[in-house]
Structure 1
Amino acid sequence: MEHHSLDPYPEPKDKSPLYINEPWLIDKSLLEYPRHREPDEKEDNIRIYVPMDLNKDAILRRLDNIIGLYGEAREDNEIEFSIDVTHSVYF
C-alpha cells in the first residue's frame, strides 16, 4: 500500500501559497461542461489543493514531458498538445 504525505499545515513556513481556484486546470473533463467558479455544493464533495512548484525548470520539465508524449506539434494532435501546454504553463 502506498502512503501519501498529508500535511495539516499547507502553508510553507517562509512564503504564502498561491491558490488557483480553477479546477478545470487539473480536471480536463470540466472543459466539456460549463465552468463553475464555486465548489460543487454536493454533500459528498471535498475540494483538495495539491502543491506544485512553479519555476522555470519545472515548466521546462513539463513541456519536455509533453513533447515526449505527443512528439512534435501536428495538426492531428493540436488540441491535446495545446491543452497540455496551457496546463503546464498556467498550472
Structure 2
Amino acid sequence: LVTLTIALFVAGYCVGPLLWGPLSEQVCYGRRPIFIITLPMYTCFQLGCALSHNRASIIVFRLLGGMFAAAPFTNSGSVSPLSDMAGTDMDNST
C-alpha cells in the first residue's frame, strides 16, 4: 500500500501540470488564483488522506494531492514577472 500511494502521488504530480499549466495561462484565471486555490486544496487532500479509514480513500486522496501539489511547480518557472502574482503593475519604466 505504501508503494502504491507513493506511485499514485508521483503520477498525480506528473499529470497535474497538464491541467494547471494551460489554466494558468488563461486570461480569466491567471497564475495567482491557481496558487491561491491549489494550496488549500492540496492541504485538504493530505488531511483527508491522514483521516481516511479505508484504502480506497487513501489512494484517491494521494492521487488528487499529487495533482494539486504540482501547481506551484508548473507555474514557478513563469513567475519572473511577479506582477501577475502581486496584482499590480510592477514595471516602473516610463
Same fold (TM over 0.5): no
TM-score norm. by structure 1 comes to: 0.33
